[in-house]
């Protein structure tokens, strides 16, 4: 028997168990095998279950009648179906479901990594010790916890591959290769020579992670094609018995918009992450994706491409598995009856105050830290604890005295870890080398916490229930009102409240320490941690562009005392704003950030206006690079479905004429042009003649962005006649 210790990199299903990849302490990559059985359950009408039993008897499975817990229905008589072939459980379940659709199924679609973690307590990317008989794992034990604040860094070998241009626009000529500090380029002119070089590099470097740009949508499919054409065998997997796993592109509707997800290429034994097809990679990078994989139990390749919601679902599944609760394939729990008045009272979101329009000096922004998850944990809000009738009384919020619900149980360690990371970050010097990594990990956890509330009400959430969703918002509104009352009792003016943050002001209060007493009082009253985001030298709350008397709650900008800016809802934050407008608006705000008071803000207006005039002159003289004028918009439907085509749809039609295909949710770039359709697709081979650029339209966009900045003071000073 041999023993090895190291980091668990990957787990996947095989026909006779599972494969594990271990990065050992002596820098070896071990492919290990382990016997592993998986079980799913069926419940329902007994006569149907008997038929299903007879149907399954012909298959290679073990059947058992047992009692298991459903979160909502309690103990249920179920048929347990156990197979030693985890790779084919989906087929087995699919066949059974087609034959017996009226049965309720549980635990049938739990990812293999979660089953493994629930059984062994060894988490992905965690340290573990294995006792081996050849390549077969006899025992495996965890040496670390996913909730550890300072995990031992994994000595990953990372190979980065990036083409010299976007393959969707033009054919790449070179592939840039980066490994450690070394960088070089491989020519793509001859596929044969290129494949031989790349194959040699892969064998020599044996990377754990291949990090690419356009790897999913172009590079890996292209490599497979060239390999077939040239006859040069190139297996990108470390597991030689596997082929690259490809998934098709798709469009789906989520968070109120159609999103396009490109094709995917997954590897076995090593990871492949396409930075251009990884959902939030730009925000928290590899460290964040690894942190999410660590706490959710979903593999790094999957987690990098999936939404945080998938991570939260996985955490709930893992908690359910550990608590012997079955995970339903289809949630059947429905909303309880509500009268008209009850519905009107319950069906609300977070509290949003109408801000006081204008420019305000010395304003503190205080935020509840992870408010919604904190409410869920503190008040035990979970689908099974909310809306239950106890002693003849229906509870509309969580039952504090009930056993801890599944959702709070899943969230508590996550919430605690994020708060600890935030505390560590606040104590560190910003120049400390650990800051970037900790920030990325905290951001990754933050996103999981952000979506966990939505998943209480999300239609496809396994453990969602609309009443628990409503209970969280009801509690948040109550807490915000409590915070407001505390602030007003202490003499503060509340300028604005937005879901989980308050903007307060009091004459003579301008240092962060001036607000400590208030924060302590709010925390004591509400029981939810609160933090000072900062004290603004000045902050502007904006009015509606249509009606100057109506404030817009989610649009504001301001400068903190250290000169840093915070802006929400303005052009600078919008993805469809051109880089040129964003740059000038940011420069304008940076200039205004030197002002220490609202009065000084007004003094700086002429300087900013000159900046804008110079920018416009540069535009008219053709001195602005066209790349900075590109507009990026998303297609919300198929091109044919547009009755009145948007500029993006016009650009898509231009490209369609050149053979490009578009799916709903895909973004595309264009310039505003003085031609029949008003746009010029950026991806077209022919460049736009500078004389055809619609400079007037760009100037209008600039004016609008500047109007946003100046409105708070100009409405009081003089009419808008500056441009």
Partner 1 sequence: MDILPVLKTGKLIAVYTSDAACTESMSLIAELGLRGAVTILDGGNRYRPYQVATFLRRKMVDISIAANRLLSRRAFTCYEMNTLLSSTPSLNHPCLILDLLNTFYDDHVSTYEAYRLLKSCLGQMQRLVLSGPVVVTLPPPLADDRDFLLEQVCRQADEVMIQEAPVCGPTQPSLF
Using CB under 8 A, list all residues that contact partner 1. Answer: 101, 252, 330-341, 343-344, 347, 459-460, 466
Query: Residue 299 Cβ, how far from partner 1 at the closest point, in Å?
Result: 22
The whole-angstrom separation of Cα 146 and Cα 126 is 7
**Cβ 260 vs Cβ 251: under 8 Å:** yes
Nearer to partner 1 (CB atom), residue 54 or residue 343: 343
Query: Residue 544 Cβ, how far from partner 1 at the closest point, in Å?
Result: 22
Nearer to partner 1 (CB atom), residue 331 or residue 582: 331
Terminal CA-CA length for the chain:
81
Query: Residue 99 Cβ, how far from partner 1 at the closest point, in Å?
Result: 12
Query: Residue 685 Cβ, how far from partner 1 at the closest point, in Å?
Result: 32
Query: Residue 104 Cβ, how far from partner 1 at the closest point, in Å?
Result: 10
Query: Residue 681 Cβ, how far from partner 1 at the closest point, in Å?
Result: 25
Query: Residue 553 Cβ, how far from partner 1 at the closest point, in Å?
Result: 20
The whole-angstrom separation of Cα 426 and Cα 435 is 10
Instruction: Give DSSP secondary structure letters for 351-420.
Output: -B-----EEEEEEEEEEETTHHHHHHHHTT--TTTSS-EETTEE-SS--TTSPPPHHHHHHHHHHHHHHH
3-state secondary structure of 605: helix
The whole-angstrom separation of Cα 421 and Cα 442 is 6
The whole-angstrom separation of Cα 209 and Cα 183 is 16
Query: Residue 63 Cβ, how far from partner 1 at the closest point, in Å?
Result: 25
- Cβ contacts of 43 within 8 Å, gap of 6 or more: 49, 70, 76, 77, 78, 79, 103, 104, 105, 106
Query: Residue 320 Cβ, how far from partner 1 at the closest point, in Å?
Result: 19
Nearer to partner 1 (CB atom), residue 347 or residue 432: 347
- Beta-strand ranges (E) seen in 15-135 are 17-24, 29-34, 38-43, 62-70, 74-83, 104-106, 127-133
* Mode of pairing for the β-strands spanning 209-212 and 158-163: parallel
Nearer to partner 1 (CB atom), residue 348 or residue 610: 348
Nearer to partner 1 (CB atom), residue 394 or residue 460: 460
Query: Residue 334 Cβ, how far from partner 1 at the closest point, in Å?
Result: 5
Query: Residue 276 Cβ, how far from partner 1 at the closest point, in Å?
Result: 25
Instruction: Give DSSP secondary structure letters for 222-269.
Output: HHHHHHHHH-------SSTT-PPEEE--EEEEETTEEEEE--EEE-SS
Query: Residue 548 Cβ, how far from partner 1 at the closest point, in Å?
Result: 27
- Cβ contacts of 82 within 8 Å, gap of 6 or more: 37, 38, 39, 61, 62, 63, 64
Nearer to partner 1 (CB atom), residue 109 or residue 628: 109
Question: Across the chain, which distance is largest between two alpha carbons, in Å?
Answer: 85
Nearer to partner 1 (CB atom), residue 469 or residue 616: 469
Query: Residue 464 Cβ, how far from partner 1 at the closest point, in Å?
Result: 8
3-state secondary structure of 76: strand
Nearer to partner 1 (CB atom), residue 143 or residue 344: 344
Nearer to partner 1 (CB atom), residue 117 or residue 329: 329
Q: Is 324 exposed, middle or buried (0-12, 13-18, 19+ CB in 10 A)?
A: exposed
Neighbours of 141 (CB within 10 A): 12
The whole-angstrom separation of Cα 271 and Cα 284 is 17
The whole-angstrom separation of Cα 695 and Cα 678 is 12
Residue 342 token pair: 């009850």
Nearer to partner 1 (CB atom), residue 104 or residue 500: 104
Q: Measuring CA to CA, which residue among 2, 36, 9, 18 is closest to residue 238?
A: 9
Q: Which H, E and C letters describe 517-584, residue by residue?
A: HHHHHHHHHHCCCEEEEEEEEEEEEEECCCCCCCEEEEEEEEEECCCCEEEECCHHHCCCCCHHHHHH
* Mode of pairing for the β-strands spanning 158-163 and 174-179: antiparallel
Query: Residue 674 Cβ, how far from partner 1 at the closest point, in Å?
Result: 14
Nearer to partner 1 (CB atom), residue 568 or residue 674: 674
- For residue 364, the number of C-alpha atoms closer than 13 Å in the C-beta half-sphere is 24
Query: Residue 347 Cβ, how far from partner 1 at the closest point, in Å?
Result: 7
Nearer to partner 1 (CB atom), residue 229 or residue 347: 347
Query: Residue 252 Cβ, how far from partner 1 at the closest point, in Å?
Result: 8
Q: Measuring CA to CA, which residue among 315, 344, 325, 343 is closest to residue 455?
A: 315
Nearer to partner 1 (CB atom), residue 182 or residue 337: 337
Query: Residue 258 Cβ, how far from partner 1 at the closest point, in Å?
Result: 12
Query: Residue 77 Cβ, how far from partner 1 at the closest point, in Å?
Result: 20
* Mode of pairing for the β-strands spanning 271-274 and 209-212: parallel
Nearer to partner 1 (CB atom), residue 345 or residue 575: 345
The whole-angstrom separation of Cα 219 and Cα 240 is 20
- Cβ contacts of 429 within 8 Å, gap of 6 or more: 435
From residue 361, give the alpha-carbon distance in Å to each of 204, 368, 442, 630.
Answer: 61, 22, 31, 36
Residue 609 token pair: 């206006």
Nearer to partner 1 (CB atom), residue 330 or residue 517: 330
Nearer to partner 1 (CB atom), residue 196 or residue 663: 663
Nearer to partner 1 (CB atom), residue 45 or residue 335: 335
Q: Measuring CA to CA, which residue among 248, 228, 226, 244 is closest to residue 236?
A: 244
Nearer to partner 1 (CB atom), residue 641 or residue 690: 641
């Amino acid at each position: 028997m041999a023993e090895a210790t190291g980091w668990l990199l990957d787990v996947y299903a095989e026909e006779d168990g599972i494969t594990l990849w271990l990065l050992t302490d002596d820098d070896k990559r071990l492919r290990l095998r382990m016997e592993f059985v998986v079980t799913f359950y069926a419940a329902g009408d007994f006569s149907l279950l008997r038929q299903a039993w007879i149907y399954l008897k012909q298959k290679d499975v073990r059947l058992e009648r047992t009692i298991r817990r459903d979160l909502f229905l309690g103990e249920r008589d179920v048929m347990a179906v156990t197979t030693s072939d985890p790779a084919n459980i989906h087929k087995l379940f699919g066949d059974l479901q087609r034959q017996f659709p009226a049965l309720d199924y549980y635990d049938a679609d739990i990812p293999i990594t979660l089953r493994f973690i629930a059984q062994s307590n060894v988490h992905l990317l965690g340290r573990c010790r294995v006792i081996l008989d050849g390549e077969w794992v006899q025992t495996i034990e965890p040496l670390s916890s996913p909730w550890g604040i300072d995990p031992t860094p994994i000595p990953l070998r990372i190979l980065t591959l990036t083409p010299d241009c976007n393959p969707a626009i033009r054919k790449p000529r070179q592939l840039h290769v980066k490994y450690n500090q070394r960088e070089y380029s491989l020519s793509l002119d001859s596929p044969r020579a290129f494949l031989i070089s790349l194959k040699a590099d892969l064998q020599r470097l044996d990377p754990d992670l291949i990090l690419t740009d356009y790897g999913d949508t172009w590079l890996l499919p292209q490599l497979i094609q060239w390999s077939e054409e040239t006859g040069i065998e190139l297996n990108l997997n470390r597991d030689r018995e596997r082929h690259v796993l490809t998934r098709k592109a798709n469009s789906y509707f989520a968070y109120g918009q159609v999103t396009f997800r490109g094709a995917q290429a997954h590897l076995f034994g090593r990871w492949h992450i396409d930075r251009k097809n990884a959902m939030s990679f730009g925000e928290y990078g590899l460290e964040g994706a690894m942190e999410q994989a660590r706490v959710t139990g979903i593999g790094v390749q999957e987690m990098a491409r999936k939404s945080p919601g998938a991570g939260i679902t996985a955490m709930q599944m893992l908690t359910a598995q550990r608590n012997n609760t079955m995970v339903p394939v289809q949630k059947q729990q429905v909303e309880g009856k509500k009268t008209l008045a009850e519905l009107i009272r319950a069906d609300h979101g977070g509290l949003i105050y109408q801000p006081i329009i204008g420019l305000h000096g010395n304003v503190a922004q205080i935020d509840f830290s992870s408010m919604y998850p904190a409410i869920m944990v503190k008040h035990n809000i979970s689908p099974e604890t909310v809306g239950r009738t106890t002693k003849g009384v229906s509870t509309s919020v969580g039952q504090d005295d009930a056993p801890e619900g599944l959702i709070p149980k899943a969230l508590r360690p996550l919430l605690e870890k994020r708060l600890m990371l935030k505390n560590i970050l606040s104590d560190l010097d910003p120049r400390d080398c650990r800051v970037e990594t900790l920030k990325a990990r905290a951001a990754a956890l933050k996103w999981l916490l952000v979506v966990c509330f939505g998943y209480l009400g999300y239609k496809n959430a396994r453990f969602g229930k609309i009443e628990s969703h409503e209970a969280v918002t009801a509690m948040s509104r109550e807490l915000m009102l409590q915070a407001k009352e505390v602030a007003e009792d202490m003499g503060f003016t509340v300028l604005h409240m937005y879901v989980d943050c308050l903007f307060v002001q009091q004459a003579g209060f301008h240092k962060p320490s001036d607000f400590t007493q208030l924060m302590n009082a709010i925390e004591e009253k509400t029981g939810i941690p609160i933090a000072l985001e900062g004290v603004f030298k000045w902050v502007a709350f904006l009015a509606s562009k249509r009606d100057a008397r109506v404030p817009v709650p989610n649009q504001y900008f301001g400068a903190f005392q250290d000169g840093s800016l915070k802006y929400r809802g303005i052009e600078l934050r919008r993805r469809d704003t051109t880089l040129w407008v964003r740059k000038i608006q940011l420069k304008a705000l940076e200039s205004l950030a030197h002002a220490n008071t609202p009065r000084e803000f007004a003094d700086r207006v002429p300087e900013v206006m000159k900046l804008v005039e110079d920018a416009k002159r540069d535009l008219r003289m053709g001195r602005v690079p066209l790349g900075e004028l590109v507009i990026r918009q998303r297609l919300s439907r198929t091109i044919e479905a547009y009755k009145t085509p948007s500029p993006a749809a016009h650009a898509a039609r231009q490209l369609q004429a050149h053979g490009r295909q578009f799916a709903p949710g895909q973004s595309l770039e264009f310039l505003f042009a003085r031609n029949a359709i008003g746009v010029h697709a950026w991806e077209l081979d022919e460049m736009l003649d500078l004389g055809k650029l619609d400079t007037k339209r760009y100037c209008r966009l600039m004016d609008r962005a500047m109007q946003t900045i100046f409105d708070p003071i100009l409405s009081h000073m003089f009419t808008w006649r500056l441009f």
